[in-house]
Structure 1
């Protein structure tokens, strides 16, 4: 995607231009026949010798870089797709159970090129997530499974434990010769066909597969490029995010659209040494603009453990940092900004964003020239559904980070979920969406699809409606997220499923968790979950916290008392139980977020901390 006249050198002839993707009114409208595969084929034809993907492999040596050009990538796709076609027909599902790397990227796109539906998952060795993998495989029932030679044994053993799947054909990506491509049979891919199933992270319920069409993914990539101003062809991506995660997939989607490249590494490589991420960003920043994305915890972790050594040549002047996947933490932004400002990180680098798998990914972000901003709202009023501003130092102040403006050609309304009526600005309600980037539904779940993707907006505001320009009679997507508009910008306050309701009052778990983190130095910052459990007819509050480094031998009782006192004082709720676990004790989603639902289930089942 390029805007040559505005952003330096013109695009090579034949690449997609931003104007190609807009209608006369400036709305996003993809050219006929645009699919992920047609975009890649444009790149092969026009910038075939340019690098498409680079993988920094830390398993063998420190940052051994494996690169593939668009032309080489095209050869691999054709060979893998031909092999897939031997065992899976059009519309069959093909799962990718492989480690992070270029083979994974090639397997994902090749499954789509073959005319099948790609199901990006993960190799079974990902600790603690066997149940999620089983759920996704049983749900999608793949005809074939793509893996690598290194992961083949683990995948075979895992599949052997699922006899109800039948016997999907195991295809080893890195053992397919390029010559296999001679047998590839071209497939006509319609723009409204499902390209892949995106399984949700499982933070608030069991994972479900969102049907993402070519139109949805193409539209959302264009929306991101416009919103984050990635029109310069000299913009590249750096990502350690899992490729089975919606943001991880989007980071390999950018290059497909505009012929650039992305540098990838594994999540494990990042977690073990977050400086690797910073070094990769610095390398990209020296060449042009570089964009990356991560949730709150990653920025906090990097500020703690990823600082360069004195004298390291680190340059972050051209970095764009997307932060999202949960209510954005202003503390995470401030901590990272302070740590990396000496390396040229601009105040405008952070882009707080809101996105969900059901909308392919991105819904809203702040302007490209804007700094991250925060408002302070009255805690009691917010719990009652009203956004009332207070001073930052007010005792009842809750910080809320703006996620900016909704993407072009996407409509987001704040709705009373009971009545289906749009709420005015300043009132908290469920966020509903309409636009071509919204997925088609949940795979194999017609009732859940109707409920989530088939909502009817019963009434709109007479003045200032955020549904202005939307399609009348077209259904809306219920996101399950709570939000509010203030001064034209959207703020995400939390998830309906996570709300803690005690004695008739709603409380946001992240708000209580922040209080817990401040209450005692024994709490590992960012690693707290709060939830309620039934106690007869009442609900009671439970807090689970991981211990901070160096506190494993300390008596937790003073910390437990301090937490109870702080929560009771600030939120007016008694804490019935506080548990401390060692670092890593709280279950995570596959994207690294704390999994409150799983934590609560383990607590109720008596297995929390037993693993």
Structure 2
């Protein structure tokens, strides 16, 4: 967001400048009254005729149908839908968006905020396997209004009836623009809650994080600075679901800098990942293009989405690839790099990152000019809480990908959760965060909110630590994630709730899962879950290890016994663990979160109650 760029583009001089968002010391300080809605209004006034959001609809029989919204058109839709919300809801009411992916979803989300209510981005009930999560979120948020579309109306009504809920239902695409004449302007305070971001439910039932206008604005500026999106000719491309925090960020970027994002549905991506590549290439030809996805998406695209070299003139020379939402896999990065280097993908394209819903999203990433890097650590030391580098070819080596530097005006310290003391670099502890991007708490859960969002740091390491400049005596966010610092890089090793402890030694499930995938070609890579279950004997601290894996494509008729034996032997040899059971399941049987991560908690629960793999 540079002044020079604005001077080259008439009509853009009224847009917000990055200098407007920084104080004299370079810290992020949003201009008074800055909200997503004030930024949208600024775009309407200055670049109203330019495209704000583009949706690639792949559902029709005639191929891709492109739908666009300019900033002015978006403004009219927000007033119309917002006025309709105001007729049936009061300020502070929750308004849930239960709509399919598309521009109507974008309109519904922003309209709920503009109307002075609290948006609750969820998903249409037809999303397979997630009815319980949706029901939990609705019970928790208690929305007085539900927004949907004509296409989703039937399933939404049926679902609400089954849940014995009767909120007002507004069909976004049936609201005429003329209804906007009745809209009553609302003064939004930066400390008001903009929306509730429900967590993925990977390690516990989903809870709604209260994201304020200040938090979302601050986090978007942090991302723009960290990823170097200061050039306004930067566009987003995303298939991530819009109820996911990163999906929301991909529609938040344009609101800040007046650019645009191209969206598509997760289903369109899964069915033909080459569509993602084609959209990235189209954006790369006209400017810098940024996208984001978890490990599995890059692995899937490397397997199924590589076009023929020279076909369609694919050009990825101006692409930035954010990879996050779980411990980042170097194997996923390498596979994608190898597959798409012939299409001009830069060696610096990948940006391993760390984020969490409680921090609105973004925490850290590597520098814009840096390449993704990995350090190999001793497995036994890692389990004991120490990060001790070893050679890559060491039998006990565990790869860890660097997630770079923490965003400006945000602090991340590594803490012993039992004592509240900051740990030295090279020691593994819980990651605690502080900054104006941190959410306010969990909706309707004061006890959980105090424990998670009001942690106290008892001691720091002074100038040698990572709390310099923070409000050390103030509130810190306990993330539940484990990590360490090494050579000025933050590394994330996993979730505390996922740790497997056997014989007094801690093991990371994704490390065991990688071993299982390496041991047998019968296993579908990226679709393995390892977890602990109660054991009969006391010699294992009361826990047994279970590994559940999906079969790779084309292996349904293969004898599984050699693969099962190979996995058990590999885990015993590499981790010193006896595996109580290895279970092979068909593709799609392992539960995943709505953001595509392994849902180990749900997998374990289904295993214990006998419903895993039962349809």
- TM above 0.5, yes or no, is yes
Aligned to 1:245: 244
Aligned to 2:104: 103
Alignment of 1:414-453 (within 5 A): 414-453=414-453
Whether the 8 Å CA contact 1:7–1:232 is kept in 2: the answer is: no
Report the Cα offset of residue 311 of structure 1: 2.8
Aligned to 1:400: 400
CA distance in 1, matches of 2:342, 2:153: 45
Aligned to 1:338: 338
Aligned to 1:555: 559
Aligned to 1:513: 513
CA distance in 1, matches of 2:45, 2:463: 50
Aligned to 2:470: 470
Matched, 1:610 2:614: yes
Matched, 1:541 2:545: yes
Whether the 8 Å CA contact 2:200–2:206 is kept in 1: the answer is: yes
Please state whether the residue corresponding to 1:72 is helix, strand or coil.
helix
Aligned to 2:303: 304
Report the Cα offset of residue 503 of structure 1: 1.1
Report the Cα offset of residue 514 of structure 1: 0.5
Aligned to 2:223: 224
CA distance in 2, matches of 1:337, 1:37: 38
Cα deviations by residue, 1:213-240 (Å, 9 ceiling, x for unpaired): 0000000000000000000000000000
Whether the 8 Å CA contact 1:210–1:439 is kept in 2: the answer is: yes
Cα deviations by residue, 1:562-604 (Å, 9 ceiling, x for unpaired): 0000000000000010000011110110011111010000000
1:601 to 601, 605, 608: 605
CA distance in 2, matches of 1:15, 1:462: 40
Cα deviations by residue, 1:369-417 (Å, 9 ceiling, x for unpaired): 0000000000000100000010000000000000000000000000000
Aligned to 1:457: 457
Report the Cα offset of residue 472 of structure 1: 3.5
CA distance in 2, matches of 1:6, 1:427: 44
Whether the 8 Å CA contact 1:377–1:397 is kept in 2: the answer is: yes
Aligned to 2:354: 354
CA distance in 1, matches of 2:309, 2:479: 45
Alignment of 1:55-204 (within 5 A): 55-60=55-60, 61-163=62-164, 165=165, 167-204=166-203
Whether the 8 Å CA contact 1:146–1:170 is kept in 2: the answer is: yes
CA distance in 2, matches of 1:462, 1:232: 37
1:589 to 573, 589, 593: 593
CA distance in 2, matches of 1:390, 1:159: 55
Report the Cα offset of residue 310 of structure 1: 4.1
Report the Cα offset of residue 6 of structure 1: 7.2
Report the Cα offset of residue 488 of structure 1: 1.0
CA distance in 2, matches of 1:80, 1:491: 43
Consecutive aligned runs of 4 or more in structure 1 exceeding 2 Å deviation: 4-11
Please state whether the residue corresponding to 2:333 is helix, strand or coil.
helix
Cα deviations by residue, 1:420-458 (Å, 9 ceiling, x for unpaired): 000000000000000000000000000000010010000
CA distance in 2, matches of 1:527, 1:62: 31
Moved more, 289-298 or 531-540: 531-540
Please state whether the residue corresponding to 2:185 is helix, strand or coil.
coil
Aligned to 1:274: 273
Aligned to 1:314: 314
Report the Cα offset of residue 474 of structure 1: 1.3
Please state whether the residue corresponding to 1:286 is helix, strand or coil.
helix
Moved more, 7-16 or 424-433: 7-16
TM-score, normalised to structure 1, is 0.99
CA distance in 1, matches of 2:521, 2:535: 30
Report the Cα offset of residue 309 of structure 1: 2.7
Report the Cα offset of residue 463 of structure 1: 3.8
CA distance in 2, matches of 1:583, 1:176: 41
Cα deviations by residue, 1:524-582 (Å, 9 ceiling, x for unpaired): 11110000001135100000000011110111111110000000000000001000001
CA distance in 1, matches of 2:282, 2:511: 37
Aligned to 2:491: 491
Aligned to 1:205: 204
Whether the 8 Å CA contact 2:35–2:213 is kept in 1: the answer is: yes
Please state whether the residue corresponding to 2:4 is helix, strand or coil.
coil
Whether the 8 Å CA contact 2:5–2:232 is kept in 1: the answer is: no
Aligned to 1:524: 524
- Segments of structure 1 that go 5 or more residues without pairing to the other structure are none
- Segments of structure 2 that go 5 or more residues without pairing to the other structure are none
Please state whether the residue corresponding to 1:304 is helix, strand or coil.
helix
Report the Cα offset of residue 7 of structure 1: 9.2
CA distance in 2, matches of 1:25, 1:54: 37
Matched, 1:292 2:287: no
Aligned residues: 608
CA distance in 1, matches of 2:299, 2:21: 37
Please state whether the residue corresponding to 1:481 is helix, strand or coil.
strand
CA distance in 1, matches of 2:227, 2:13: 24
Alignment of 1:561-580 (within 5 A): 561-580=565-584
Aligned to 2:503: 503
Aligned to 1:54: 54
Q: Structure 1 residues 55 and 561, CA, compared in 2 at 3 Å: closer, same or farther?
A: same
Cα deviations by residue, 1:316-364 (Å, 9 ceiling, x for unpaired): 0000000000000000000000000000000000000000000000000
CA distance in 1, matches of 2:545, 2:207: 28
CA distance in 1, matches of 2:400, 2:276: 27
CA distance in 2, matches of 1:159, 1:606: 29
Please state whether the residue corresponding to 1:5 is helix, strand or coil.
helix
CA distance in 1, matches of 2:568, 2:483: 28
Whether the 8 Å CA contact 1:237–1:261 is kept in 2: the answer is: yes
CA distance in 2, matches of 1:481, 1:401: 15
TM-score, normalised to structure 2, is 0.98
Moved more, 305-314 or 484-493: 305-314
Whether the 8 Å CA contact 1:195–1:212 is kept in 2: the answer is: yes
CA distance in 2, matches of 1:526, 1:428: 25
Whether the 8 Å CA contact 1:416–1:423 is kept in 2: the answer is: yes
